A and B are shown apart, each in its own frame.
Chain A
Amino acid sequence: MSGKFAKFSPFHVDPELIEGTFSLRPEDFDRADENEKAAMEQKRKSVSYWRDAWRRFRSNTVSMVALGVFIACLLFAFVGPALIPYDYADQYRSSQKLGPFEYSAGEATARSIAGSVDGFYATALQPGSLTSLPKGDYVIYHGGKTYAFTLDRAMENAILMLQTKAENPLFIVSESKIQKDGSWSDSKAISYTDTPADGAVEIRLSRNVFPHAFGTDSFGRDLMARTMYGTRVSIIIGIMAALIVLVIGATYGAISGLSGGAVDFVMMRIVELIYSIPEVLVVLLLQVVLKDPLRAWFDSSDSALVQSLSALGAGIISIFITFALLYWVTMARIVRGQVLQLKQQEYVTAATALGAGNGRIIRRHLLPNCVGSVVITTCLQIPSAIFLESFLSFLGLGVSAPMASLGSLCSDALETITLYPYRLLLPSIVLTIVILSLNLIGDGLRDSLDPRLKK
Chain B
Amino acid sequence: MEKDNKNLLEIKDLKVSFFTPAGEVKAVNGISYSLGYNEVMGIVGESGSGKSVEAYSIIGLLQSPGKVVGGSITFEGENVLDFTEEQMRQFRGNKVSMIFQNPMTCLNPVYTIGNQLIEALMCHDKGYTREAARKRAIEMLELVGINNAEKRIDQYPHEFSGGMRQRAMIAMALICEPKLLIADEPTTALDVTIQAQILELMKDLQHKANTSIVFITHNLGVVAEICDRVSVMYAGHIVEQGDVNDVFYDPQHPYTRGLLSSTPRMDEVTRERLVPIEGTPIDLLNPPTGCNFGPRCKHCMKICLREKPPLVEVGERHYSACWLHFKKEDEQEEAET
Contacts and interface: CB of A to CB of B under 8 A. Distances in A.
Question: Taking the complex as a whole, does A directly touch B, i.e. does some CB pair lie under 8 Å apart?
Answer: yes
Interface string A30-51: 1110001110111010000000
A27 B327 CA distance: 11
A26 B308 CA distance: 17
Contact of B13 (A1, A27, A38): A1
A18 B323 CA distance: 11
A24 B300 contact: no
Contacts of B70: 2
A22 B307 CA distance: 8
A1 B30 contact: yes
Interface in B284-307: 286, 288-290, 294-295, 299-307
B192 interface: no
A455 B20 contact: yes
B18 to A, nearest CB: 11
A37 B300 contact: yes
22 contacts: A1-B311, A2-B13, A10-B12, A10-B13, A10-B311, A11-B32, A13-B310, A15-B312, A19-B326, A24-B303, A26-B328, A28-B302, A30-B301, A31-B299, A31-B302, A32-B302, A36-B305, A37-B295, A37-B300, A40-B305, A44-B286, A59-B21
B326 A18 contact: yes
B319 interface: yes
Interface string B1-45: 000000000001101000011100000001010000000000000
A133 to B, nearest CB: 65
A28 B288 contact: no
B154 interface: no
Interface in B68-103: 70
Q: Which size class do A's interface residues fall under? A: 20 to 34
Interface of B: 12-13, 15, 20-22, 30, 32, 70, 282-283, 286, 288-290, 294-295, 299-308, 310-313, 319, 323, 326-328, 331
Interface centre among A1, A13, A18, A26 (most CB of B within 10 A): A1
A29 B331 contact: yes
Interface of A: 1-2, 4-5, 8, 10-13, 15, 18-19, 22, 24, 26-32, 36-38, 40-42, 44, 59, 455
B286 A32 contact: no
Contacts of A12: 312-313
B20 A8 contact: no
Contact of B301 (A1, A10, A32, A42): A32
Contacts of A22: 303, 307
A40 B303 contact: no
**What are the 5 A-B residue pairs with the smallest beta carbon separation, nearest first?**
A28-B303, A10-B32, A42-B286, A40-B288, A1-B30
Contact of B302 (A5, A8, A11, A36): A36
Contacts, number: 87
Nearest to A25: B303
Contact of A24 (B21, B282, B326): B326
Contact of A42 (B22, B283, B300): B283
Nearest to B15: A2
Contact of A29 (B283, B289, B303, B313): B303
A11 B319 contact: yes
A5 B310 contact: yes
A8 B22 contact: no
A86 B327 CA distance: 87
A27 B307 contact: no
Contacts of B304: 32
B294 A40 contact: yes
A29 B306 CA distance: 11
B302 A30 contact: yes
Contacts of A40: 288-290, 294-295, 305
A218 to B, nearest CB: 55
A419 to B, nearest CB: 54
Interface centre among B12, B302, B308, B328 (most CB of A within 10 A): B302
A37 B305 contact: yes
Given A2-B30, A13-B311, A37-B294, 10 more contacts: A1-B13, A10-B12, A13-B310, A22-B307, A29-B327, A29-B328, A31-B302, A40-B289, A40-B295, A42-B288
Contact of A31 (B12, B289, B301, B319): B301
